[in-house]
Amino acid sequence: MKVQVGLYEGSTFFDSVIKVYCMIFRIGNPKDTHSCLVKVERKIESLPGYGPREASIMSYPGKWTLHIYNIKGMTETKSEAIWNEALELVKANKGYDFMGILAYVCPAFKHAIDKYFCSEMVDFLLEKYGIDICPALKPDKTAPADQGASNLIVLDRTITN
């Protein structure tokens, strides 16, 4: 099974902050507030309080809807390489890129080179293997709503808790 992009529509305080930020500064009425890589029923994500982690796609706080997308240009070879490198980030777990999140609002903050927030990790890994779902943005400037607006992903399935 190939790696897919998972985009959550979340209901936590952190999800609300992301929605407000995107409405004000970036994208009108965003629905996607968290992104991850998905493979069957597992995901690799970077989450505040955890950093990079592997978990069930069912583990996300609060009430949520998860949209899982196929990625145009994804091959089995790229899929395995991306998933394996994501697992290496999980093992190294250097934490969550809070400074990168703050850099969205205040450019005086700089994102950490060895830490990632959710959409940054997904975009970084895909771009590294030749799949740039948000070509107008660098990975450290990509929001989940940007990924959801990409024409390089196609909805496969939706799950709601």
Cα–Cα distance, 115 to 97 (Å, whole number)? 5
Containing structural domain, residue 115? 4-160
Cα–Cα distance, 55 to 145 (Å, whole number)? 22
Cα–Cα distance, 4 to 8 (Å, whole number)? 13
Q: What are phi and psi of 111, to 5 degrees?
A: -70, 150
User: From first to last of its 161 residues, what are the pLDDT tens digits of the chain?
Assistant: 899 999 999 998 888 888 887 787 766 568 898 999 999 999 999 988 889 999 999 999 889 999 999 999 999 999 999 999 999 999 999 999 888 888 877 778 888 888 999 999 999 999 999 999 999 999 988 889 899 999 999 999 999 99
pLDDT value of residue 41: 92
- Number of domains making up the chain: 1
Q: Taking the complete model, does pTM exceed 0.75, yes or no? A: yes
Cα–Cα distance, 131 to 15 (Å, whole number)? 26
Q: What would the two tokens of residue 3 be?
A: 């790696």
Q: List the CATH number of the domain containing 137.
A: 3.90.1720.10
Longest dimension (CA), the chain: 41
pLDDT value of residue 28: 56
pLDDT value of residue 21: 78
pLDDT value of residue 58: 94
pLDDT value of residue 49: 83
Looking up tokens 């998905």 gives 38
Nearest to 81 by CA among 48, 130, 22: 130
* HSE, side-chain direction, 13 A CA sphere, residue 44: 24
Instruction: Quickly list H helices, the chain.
Output: 13-21, 76-92, 98-105, 118-128, 144-148
